[in-house]
Structure 1
Amino acid sequence: MILEFEKYHGAGNDFIIIDLNKFHIEFSVEQIAFLCDRHFGIGADGLMLLKKNMNYDFEMIYHNSDGKPATMCGNGGRCIAAYAYNHGYISDETTFLASDGVHLAKIINPNYVKLKMQDVNNVQIFEDGYFVNTGSPHFVSFKYDIKTLDVYKTGKSIRHEPRFGSEGTNVNFCHINEENKLTIYTFERGVENETLACGTGSVASAIAHCTNKPDGNYSIEMVAKGGNLNVSFDKKDKQFRNIWLSGPVKFVFKGEIKL
């Protein structure tokens, strides 16, 4: 079977997008892992499937590069919204269904997309960091010297710690550059490696940074290896509302591959 695909990235966090309006196919774990393989396939951090939905503009189905179904992906959500816009499925605003519920996205321009995230009502505090679920589970630590940190080695060692349950967690290492500007490195589960950016991880890290701050409106610049993202939200009574993840989106190329 010959599949058409497009490749997008959000701050270096890259995705294969396949439109299920064009193909009626159920992918196996092995097929998805092949597509995402950077040596033998197309290469990506994950696969995004755009599917029709009767109640919303579309449904986003996400798989990590290991081929397994994944939880919410923030940069992937921004990328698939840009894809839907570029193909005329949506206007400059859209609501779509993802694994963690309904999301609103705004196309500021074809290369910049804002995505509304789910509210966060609980931040778990550990001695060495924070645990925040932003549609995907994230551990956030500010204690490491990220200039010398081996993100892969340290992230891998934390990712499967028993305190995070059988599925483990994503791991984020942050440095506070300024009051509202953080540098972030992320080890992603399912990718099982460092990625150039992580949307849900950036949201989790910005929230962790503000957990002990006064109530108010916050806008945090997140500096990742692949580019900068912005996270904004309202904080009140240890709850976080009106959370937006904003940043660049880029169409890279399109092609066909035999599966």
Structure 2
Amino acid sequence: MRVRFRKVHGAGNDFVLIIGAADERDWRAWGPRLCARCTGVGADGLVVSSAIRKDSAVLDVLCVNADGSVATLCANALRCVAWCASRDHGWTTMRLVMSGVPHDAVVDGTHVRVTVEAGEVYSERVTETWPGGTVRFDAVHVGAEHLVALVDDVDQLDVESLVNLVRDRGPAAADANVSVFQLLGPQELTIRTYERGAEGEALSCASGAVAAAVAAARRGLVDVARQVRVHNRAGTPLTVIEHAERPSYWVGGPVTHVFDGELEVA
């Protein structure tokens, strides 16, 4: 069977996106094959979306990480799905459901924002001392588990080595995305994130941006009632702001269409 796909990225976080494939095909098995950088299409994840109700702006979204695991939340994947749905149907607002959790989306040209819920910030849940110094990670659940640490200079850290040490702290650390962030100025952060599932440092991570902004707000460093600008390795910042009406946060940024293709799948 031939299946059409789009290659899209949200601020550098890239996906193979398949639309309207609401069948029982084992997408978990296809994820690692399609996401492989040298032998597949190449992506951080495989995203499959389908309409929950015909002709309605409500979509179910499955995100399979490059290692075959299923993401409970990937906000950049949601942003990419929203942009494609807007292009196909003309919708500017819609609801997206991932792992049973609904998220609102708003599309304004190539700028897309989605809602992300955030739980309590657990301060200094993991502390790691290594030759570069002591790093204290707060734990924040934003639909996916995140460990985030405030550091003086994100560029001076060997993030992968630090992550390997953190993951030895036990299952809770091993199953989390790990980020380090730096305060650049009023309402401005920069972040580096090592993504679980992609098993590497991401060019951007929207849920990580939310986790960092929320943790920074807990420390009194930023005010999430006003827009927080979060820089990333892609050089395309994301913005985070508290939802005015619901206990959640908007995270927004650009979405870019790379190319279309066709897959032969069994």
The two structures have a TM-score, normalised by structure 2, of 0.87
Tell me how far 1:183 sits from its aligned partner.
Answer: 0.7
Q: Distance in 1 between matches of 2:73 and 2:259?
A: 24
Structure 2 counterpart of 1:57: 58
In structure 1, give the amino acid aligned to 2:213. A
Q: How does 1:20-31 map to 2 (within 5 A)?
A: 20-21=20-21, 24-31=23-30
In structure 1, give the amino acid aligned to 2:74. C
Q: Distance in 1 between matches of 2:122 and 2:154?
A: 22
Structure 2 counterpart of 1:70: 71
Structure 1 counterpart of 2:123: 125
Q: Number of aligned residue pairs: give it.
A: 250
Kept in 2: contact 1:85–1:92 (CA 8 A)? yes
Kept in 2: contact 1:18–1:50 (CA 8 A)? yes
Whether 2:259 is the aligned partner of 1:253: answer: yes
Q: Distance in 1 between matches of 2:116 and 2:27?
A: 29
Kept in 2: contact 1:32–1:66 (CA 8 A)? yes
Structure 2 counterpart of 1:112: 111
Q: How does 1:147-166 map to 2 (within 5 A)?
A: 147-162=155-170, 164=172
Structure 2 counterpart of 1:92: 92
Alpha-carbon deviations, 1:211-256, whole Å to 9, x = none?
0329872321000011100001169xxxx93410010001110111
Runs of 5+ unmatched residues, structure 1: none
Structure 2 counterpart of 1:10: 10
In structure 2, give the amino acid aligned to 1:180. Q
Tell me how far 1:84 sits from its aligned partner.
Answer: 0.9
Q: Distance in 1 between matches of 2:256 and 2:170?
A: 37
Q: Distance in 2 between matches of 1:3 and 1:10?
A: 22
Change (3 A) 1:47 1:163: closer
In structure 2, give the amino acid aligned to 1:181. E
In structure 2, give the amino acid aligned to 1:246. G
Q: How does 1:193-212 map to 2 (within 5 A)?
A: 193-212=200-219
In structure 2, give the amino acid aligned to 1:91. W
Structure 2 counterpart of 1:244: 250
**SS of structure 1 residue aligned to 2:225:** strand
**SS of structure 2 residue aligned to 1:76:** helix
Within the candidate set 148, 151, 174, 1:143 is matched to: 151
**SS of structure 1 residue aligned to 2:52:** coil
Alpha-carbon deviations, 1:107-166, whole Å to 9, x = none?
111x11011112x3411011512110111110001136322212222223324521626x
Runs of 5+ unmatched residues, structure 2: 128-135
Kept in 2: contact 1:220–1:232 (CA 8 A)? yes
Kept in 1: contact 2:119–2:140 (CA 8 A)? no
Name which of structure 1's ranges 175-184 and 145-154 shifts more when overlaid on structure 2: 145-154
Kept in 2: contact 1:159–1:189 (CA 8 A)? no
Q: Distance in 2 between matches of 1:250 and 1:108?
A: 13
Change (3 A) 1:155 1:101: same
Kept in 1: contact 2:243–2:250 (CA 8 A)? no
Structure 1 counterpart of 2:133: none
Kept in 1: contact 2:224–2:240 (CA 8 A)? no
Name which of structure 1's ranges 3-12 and 212-221 shifts more when overlaid on structure 2: 212-221
**SS of structure 2 residue aligned to 1:87:** helix
RMSD: 2.2
Q: Distance in 2 between matches of 1:38 and 1:216?
A: 36
Change (3 A) 1:28 1:244: closer
Structure 1 counterpart of 2:130: none
Kept in 2: contact 1:159–1:171 (CA 8 A)? no
Q: Distance in 2 between matches of 1:216 and 1:152?
A: 29
Change (3 A) 1:223 1:100: farther
